[in-house]
């Protein structure tokens, strides 16, 4: 069981880091395109003008939290971040007015939400691998 726990933890770090890099990349593309044709993601709760700032901010925060969790510090923060990402994906993709253009797009959204769920489970903070503060 410990091996599976370790694999899920590493998967969580990789998934959250890649998602943050993707968010930063989308925001950079949106900023370089400029106001002539802004990038629009209708299932995210932000409008076109504030979307790049939110994505850059959350991307940098997420990468920092992945780094902290990787070093074994404040793993609860990555768990809370993963929970927020999972909630944002579920709410934006399935509990909003977002419409899918076909079954392939819906299937892909389901895969992304399932991947985020696995990352959420992998980010679960556990006592294993932590410091032992008992006196000797």
The tens place of each residue's pLDDT in the chain, 136 residues long, gives 788 999 999 999 999 999 999 999 988 888 887 666 677 788 888 888 888 899 999 999 999 999 999 999 999 999 999 999 999 999 999 998 888 899 999 999 999 999 999 999 999 987 555 554 455 5
Q: What is the pLDDT of residue 98?
A: 85
| pTM summary value | 0.86
The domain limits of the chain are 2-122
CA atoms within 13 A on the CB side of 58: 23
Task: List, as one string, the DSSP characters of 15-81.
Answer: HHHHHHHHHHHHHHHHHHHGGGS----TTSSS-TTTHHHHHHHHHHHHHHHHHHHHTTS-HHHHHHH
pLDDT of residue 41: 82
pLDDT at 128: 57
């Amino acid at each position: 069981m410990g091996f599976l726990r370790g694999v899920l933890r590493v998967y969580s770090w990789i998934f959250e880091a890649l998602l943050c890099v993707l968010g930063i990349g989308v925001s950079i593309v949106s900023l370089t395109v400029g106001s002539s044709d802004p990038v629009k993601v209708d299932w995210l709760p932000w409008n076109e003008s504030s979307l790049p700032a939110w994505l850059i901010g959350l991307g940098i925060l997420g990468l920092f939290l992945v780094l902290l969790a990787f070093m074994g510090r404040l793993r609860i923060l990555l768990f809370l971040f993963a929970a927020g990402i999972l909630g944002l994906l579920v709410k934006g993709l399935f509990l909003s007015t977002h419409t899918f253009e076909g079954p392939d797009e819906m299937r892909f959204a389901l895969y992304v939400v399932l991947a985020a769920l696995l990352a959420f489970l992998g980010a679960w903070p556990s006592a294993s691998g932590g410091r032992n503060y008992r006196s000797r």
